[in-house]
Chains A and B, each alone.
Chain A
C-alpha cells in the first residue's frame, strides 16, 4: 500500500458546525502532516506529527485541532470555522528527510 487515504473528499459545513477530517496510511511512515492549500497557491504546512507526537504547529488557530490516535491515523477536528478557511486540506506522510513524502488527494472544504 503506497497511498495516503483522506476522507471525506468533499465537505460543506456551517460556521457553527463541528466536523472531522480523516487521514490514513499503511506505509510505516512515522511522520504525518496537515497542509492547507488555497487556489493557485502552494500547500502551506499546518501541523507535523512525528512518532505520534505533535512536533510542529505553524501557529494555526485553535479552531483547527489535530489528533494522531496511532501511527497510521491522523485526524483534523474543525470547529467554528470561517468562510476564509475554505480550501483543499491535504494530509501527507513521510519517512523523514523528505524521503517518501506522499500526499493524499485532499478534502475540499467549503465553509458557508
Chain B
C-alpha cells in the first residue's frame, strides 16, 4: 500500500465549475500538507501549505485537512482553462529536513 494515494485522473470539468481533488494517507506521522500545481515540462509550484486540520482559503483555492480521517482535499472555484495542469498532493513529517511524500498527481483539464 502506498503511503499517499491520489487518483491520477484525468479529471475533465467545464470552465467555471468547481474542481475537487483529494488524497488519502496511511501514516499518521505526517503533519505538514501541501498542494502543488505542475504544468507540462515545468517544476511544481506550491499552491497551499497547511499544518493543522481544518480549512485554509487563498483566492479561488481552498485546502482542507482531516487528520482523523487521514484525508486532504483541494477545491478550485470558478475554474479556468489556465487551471489545466497536474495537481500533486505532498506531505512531510515533523522532524523534516527530509523528503516530501507525493501522491501520484491528478491531471485536470478545464474545457472552455
Bound CA–CA A56/B99 (angstroms): 9
CB under 8 Å from chain B, chain A span 54-109: 55-56, 58, 88, 90, 94, 96-99, 101-106, 108
Count A-side interface residues using an 8 Å CB cutoff.
Answer: 28
Task: Flag whether A7 is at the interface (Cβ < 8 A).
Answer: no
Tell whether, in the assembled complex, residue A104 and residue B43 are in contact, meaning their CB atoms are under 8 Å apart: yes
A50 contacts chain B at the CB level, 8 A cutoff: yes
Q: How far is the CA of A105 from the CA of B46 in the complex (A)?
A: 12
Chain B residues within CB distance 8 Å of chain A: 8, 31-34, 36, 41-46, 49, 51, 88, 90-92, 94-100, 102-105
Binding site for B on A (CB under 8 A): 4, 6, 31, 33, 40-43, 45, 48, 50, 55-56, 58, 88, 90, 94, 96-99, 101-106, 108
In the assembled complex, the Cα of A95 lies from the Cα of B72 at a distance in Å of: 23
Q: When chains A and B are docked, how far (Å) is the Cα of A48 from the Cα of B91?
A: 16
Q: Which residues of A contact B51 (CB under 8 A)?
A: 97-98
